[in-house]
Structure 1
């Protein structure tokens, strides 16, 4: 094959479906590719026919111009596919396998990978620990919002679904395993959600909704979700969450209406660096969520931070924000003995267990995040609607594998 339709970032606010090279088992020069990675051979890799690939809030940060992403960067780090070609060093992954691709690219050989810290692999990105597909400063690995994609270190990275027919039947739910479901689950776990706990999730986007569903799966007694967007709050209520309307101001009083006190056992930041202040017509205030959660989490509690924070933000509100330096009330967190967990979710820590929960009907994650299937060619519409606050998780369907499938 010679062509491959893919979604590329052009400039702030604009993406385009382009024809790019069909993938090979070599990392070629291209937008965002680290010079040291050019020509890197991947005999250990596979080529996938992409069955589902999702638009992520992290992609939106780039498309809004809030990172240093280069023009024509091919987007997409949430990939589910079918193996159609394998490299000569692949031993256990077979052509025809249906697989989920963790968004973290990991070698399986370095110290961090051996410690299951696959979000900070030491060998896949010359610039810093950790890599991802189709993301700025993450090594230049080509994104998966495409018809076909290459995955390196396939035997280590891929989650194979043994029953192809069962995987096809639950493909829309399984498509959430590459990122948002494990990421939301990681946020809930690291915040200390468990049986009988009270949990507050800041942000009712897809990751926040996944974190809320995860807290329920973990046995939480009450799960609150806070947001400024009424449609997203309605989606959180649709699967049993209490909601906090942040246009009314700080969340403590609304939490106290349910619990009798303005604090929770566990708190999750599913917003990240583009946070806004609380209240009607709130302006951007990037430290708002972190500071709010330190106020809400009980003394001795934990705060999970799956929301993205960056080291460079060209659109930051001031000089500090442009370098990721936020005015966080660390003294408050210290005084309350809070624990914080940040960074990329190590997807492989969770994805097999979560796949079992999906396949055995313990969770309907596509329904919780309101997954909406659209053709690859309609990706620009999906990006625009998501940016305008639509309460949907857009799933691109390059080959029609999800024709007629809905999250209902």
Structure 2
């Protein structure tokens, strides 16, 4: 039997690589005839993983992390018809049955059948159904025919694997944020956050035809990364009010669309840059978005945050200026990205060289052993997207 190793959450601030069970085509005590086992080609560290590792969720000790997965099928269940052994596939981070009302409506991020606690499930994530994560050597994927995106040419896909690995989450998530904010040709857009999702969102805004993409962050290296592919940038440590900073770029203190790629661990701006203020980004987005504009919110907000600044925030209750958003008739769109809504189209954009997404988010390949240090570097704000290569399969 093949051995398997995975990245486990140990305690706040600590992960380790452990030997774990080799996956089986099983769901508890019953066979999972609709599933496959993958040999992992690439699996990425995500900012959402960092929330757990920082101790900002109720994640249990020993949870195997990882929801951004690309791999080769090495075993397929009896009922899998269209995915074959040897196929190289992208795995949406959303686990979806393909049978429930929400799946049939394309809302695969809130499938009704894969998590007994609430709608929606993901690999290796707290309160998301107990599915084993994919920052490992091998993983089981259920409902394979529905969930998996097969790359049409395996050799071509391996040449572009640094880009294609991002289809499992951050590229569709950033794109979803831009789409739900109404980004289109000629738009002026503000993207809050220059982490990997924010950078993917900014690249998506360019792909959608935005005229100006402004990215705000507090880490100079991340702002430099955004500037490297044509974004305007705002250093949020500066005391210049955000509307005034935007006016210095586009002449008016507002934008057509805003996207929150930060989430619940947001900090204040200017003089409050060292203070956690979880509603900062949402309130700033309402302030700077024009009347009638839209705000996309792919940034993560949680219902349980033991490390929050007050009792309300621990339950996900934030001091949001909803009256301002209402007065301006702003639209808001929240929740997980339904990856399958976008991943095939974005795959085509990658394969036909319409976007250089790995370059935009600064992909760095690391080994499974190096993932522990990768988490530490990412937590310090490295302007990189760490991609784990467990088997040494990614070409230099």
Q: Pick closer, same or farther for the CA change 1:2–1:165 going to 2, 3 Å.
A: closer
2:306 to 308, 314, 327: 314
Does residue 13 (structure 1) correspond to residue 13 (structure 2)? The answer is yes
Map Cα deviations across residues 350-375 of structure 1 (whole Å, 9 max, x no partner): 00000000000000100000010000
Residue in 2 that maps onto 1:252 = 243
Match of 1:317, SS state, is coil
Map Cα deviations across residues 265-315 of structure 1 (whole Å, 9 max, x no partner): 010000000000001542000000000000010000000000000000000
Where do 5+ consecutive residues of structure 1 fail to align?
28-37
Does residue 144 (structure 1) correspond to residue 146 (structure 2)? The answer is no
CA distance in 1, matches of 2:218, 2:342: 30
CA distance in 2, matches of 1:134, 1:173: 22
8 Å CA contact retained: 2:94, 2:120:
yes
Match of 1:377, SS state, is coil
Residue in 1 that maps onto 2:156 = 166
Match of 1:183, SS state, is helix
8 Å CA contact retained: 2:14, 2:53:
yes
1:26 CA displacement: 1.3
TM-score by length of 2: 0.98
Residue in 2 that maps onto 1:59 = 49
Within a 5 Å distance, the mapping from 1:351-370 to structure 2 comes to: 351-370=343-362
1:162 CA displacement: 1.2
CA distance in 2, matches of 1:401, 1:189: 34
Map Cα deviations across residues 181-209 of structure 1 (whole Å, 9 max, x no partner): 00000000000110000000000000000
Where do 5+ consecutive residues of structure 2 fail to align?
none
1:40 CA displacement: 4.8
CA distance in 2, matches of 1:158, 1:147: 18
CA distance in 2, matches of 1:133, 1:320: 28
Residue in 2 that maps onto 1:383 = 375
CA distance in 1, matches of 2:392, 2:198: 28
After superposition, the CA RMSD in angstroms is 0.8
8 Å CA contact retained: 1:226, 1:251:
no
1:41 CA displacement: 3.2
Match of 2:248, SS state, is helix
Q: How many residues align?
A: 394
Residue in 2 that maps onto 1:218 = 208
Runs of 4+ more than 2 Å apart: 38-41
Match of 1:112, SS state, is helix
Residue in 2 that maps onto 1:69 = 59
CA distance in 2, matches of 1:403, 1:23: 26
8 Å CA contact retained: 2:261, 2:298:
yes
Does residue 240 (structure 1) correspond to residue 210 (structure 2)? The answer is no
Does residue 135 (structure 1) correspond to residue 125 (structure 2)? The answer is yes
